[in-house]
Amino acid sequence: MQTLVVLYGHPLDHDAFRHHFTTVHLPLARNIPGIRNYRHSHQLTGTEGTAPYFALFEADFDDERAMREAMTTAEGQLANADIPHFASGGVTVFTYRR
Domains and CATH numbers, the chain: 2-97 (3.30.70.100)
Residues 41-62: tens digit of each pLDDT? 998 999 988 899 999 999 999 9
Residues 75-96: tens digit of each pLDDT? 999 999 999 999 999 999 999 9
Tell me the H-state helices in 1-98. Answer: 14-20, 26-30, 64-72, 74-82
**Among 93, 83, 78, 86, residue whose Cα is nearest residue 28:** 78
pLDDT given at position 5: 98
pTM, entire model: 0.93
Question: Residue 74: which pLDDT band, with cuts at 50, 70 and 90?
Answer: very high
Bridge-based pairing state of the strands 91-97 and 37-41: unpaired
